[in-house]
Structure 1
Amino acid sequence: MAHVPAAERRPQLVQAAIDLMAREGVDAGSTRAIAAELGVAQATVHYTFGTKRDLYRAVIEQLTAELVELVRRAAPDGPHFEESLRLMAGALWQGLRQQPGRYLLFIELTTYALRNPELHEVLRAHQSDLEQTAAKMISDVAERAERPLAAPPVTLARFFLAGFDGLALRHLVIDDDASATGLEHLVAATLALAGEGRAATGAVFSTPAPRA
């Protein structure tokens, strides 16, 4: 097999680990199994990451980057604050429904990291990245809509993300209409906290109609 530089091999191994563990769980993510997933020698995994904790750290960082990018891609460019927030929430919900294994994997890794102080900072960075990204998007949308916010953007972001985490976990346990309805209420509550003045619900995760 041709030599592959470490800078190229590392993301390949991280992706192989994510694919494997999202499918079969964290316990299945041995270095041997990850190596087999990519079709390389087990020593390659040890050489690239050193320890399993280093590998888990890289996996958490990659999952964080993917989620942040999903939020950024969902950011609409329209001037309507309520519509924009609903579209962003809908994009996150679709991501959960399309790749539930990745969300479940992050929950598993979160539990593991909370019991390993060496990984606490990775979790803190993950939470901070999501909150700051969401806060920036909320701030940008409010600015385009030329409307003041009744609460700081980061407060709105934390409120929404905390609620979404709970709904995501419920969806993984019980996939029914109540979780989707809960998302509609979460968006309405976030809008009310932002000073929207009402808490009406709407179709949060439906596909928006094409604009003329």
Structure 2
Amino acid sequence: MAHVTAAERRPQLIAAAIELMAREGVAAGSTRAIAAELGVAQATVHYTFGTKADLYRAVLESLSAELIDGAQRGVAAANGLEEALRATADAFWADLGDRPELHLVWFELVAFSLRTPELRDVVERHYRYMTRIATDALTETGSRTGRGYAVPAEELADFLVTGLDGVCMGYLLRGETEPSPQTRRILDQVVRATLALADARPAPAG
């Protein structure tokens, strides 16, 4: 049997973990079960990732990579903030339609990790990572187009990421098999609200 390197085994194990979690839930995603899903020894999982936290971090990164790539391509080609935000919304919309079951895995993984002390840091770091990517995109767009924001880019990014999470949660709670016109309208409202926050000015005193 040909030897499989850790670099080659890594994406196979991530895919196996995601498939198992999508089918049976995140709580079923033990290293033993993931190893069995791929048909390898449990030691292979630990050799490839080191710890369960490292594996879960890799799963989170894999779940978000396609969405991030799509959004970044759209933002890079945008001529202004509104166009950049709409490109982000379009990438999110496409991802929601293409991989609906994986968005449930995402939320389940976050909730499970927040209740598991050794995994909590995984989701906290990943949320900061997602917000930093959005912050960098907003900062670059503002610099490239000469546009300032009424609030710090970090706050604007946090607002946007939280809004997208809310759209996804509503989609899942409504039990949609594919994104509905209502979901699209709510997504567009998140874009408009983010634009309004970017232009917000303090209310007059008194």
**Fold conserved between structures, TM > 0.5:** yes
Match of residue 75 from structure 1 = 75
Say which structure is richer in helix: 2
Q: 1:48 to 1:181 in 2, by over 3 A?
A: same
When the two structures are superposed, what TM-score results if normalisation uses the length of structure 2?
0.82
C-alpha distance after superposition, 1:120-157 (max 9, x if no partner): 22112111111111111112222222222111111111
Cα deviation, residue 47, structure 1: 4.5
Alignment check: 8 A CA contact 1:134 1:157 kept: yes
Report the counterpart of residue 99 of structure 2 in structure 1.
99
Task: Give the match's secondary structure for 2:10.
Answer: helix
The amino acid that maps onto 2:82 is E
Q: Is the 8 A contact 1:61 1:122 kept in 2?
A: no
Counterpart residue identity of residue 134, structure 1: A
Matched with 1:9 is: 9
- Whichever residue aligns with residue 185 of structure 2, its letter is T
Percent of pairs with identical residues = 50
Q: How does 1:128-143 map onto structure 2 within 5 Å? A: 128-143=128-143
Does the aligned pair in 1 maintain the 2:21–2:29 contact within 8 Å? Answer: yes
After TM superposition, list the pairs within 5 Å mapping 1:22-61 onto structure 2: 22-49=22-49, 52-61=52-61
Distance 1:54-1:196 versus aligned 2 partners, 3 A rule: closer
1:189 aligns with 2:193: yes
> What is the deviation of 1:173?
1.9
Aligned-partner Cα distance in 1 for 2:124–2:188: 28
Q: In structure 1, what is the Cα distance between the partners aligned to 2:156 and 2:37?
A: 41
Q: Is residue 64–residue 126 contact of structure 1 (8 Å, CA) maintained in 2?
A: no
Unaligned runs of at least 5 residues, structure 2 = 202-206
> 1:61-210 residue pairs with structure 2 within 5 A?
61-174=61-174, 175=176, 176-195=180-199
| Corresponding position of 1:204 | none
Letter of the aligned partner of 2:84 in structure 1? S
Is the Cα–Cα contact under 8 Å of residues 150 and 193 in structure 1 kept in the other structure?
Answer: yes
* Paired positions, count: 197
Deviation at 1:164, TM superposition (A): 1.1
Instruction: For 1:181 and 1:64, locate their aligned partners in 2 and report how far apart those are by CA, in whole Å.
Output: 23
- Give, in whole Å, the separation in 1 of the partners of 2:190 and 2:2: 52
Aligned partner of residue 75 in structure 1, secondary structure: helix
TM-score, normalised to structure 1's length? 0.80
**118-127 vs 1-10, greater mean Cα deviation:** 1-10
CA RMSD of aligned residues (A): 2.5
- C-alpha deviation, 1:159, in angstroms: 0.7
- 1:86-145 per-residue CA deviation (whole Å, 9 max, x = no partner) reads 111111121122111221111111111111121122112111111111111112222222
* AA in 2 matched with 1:186: V
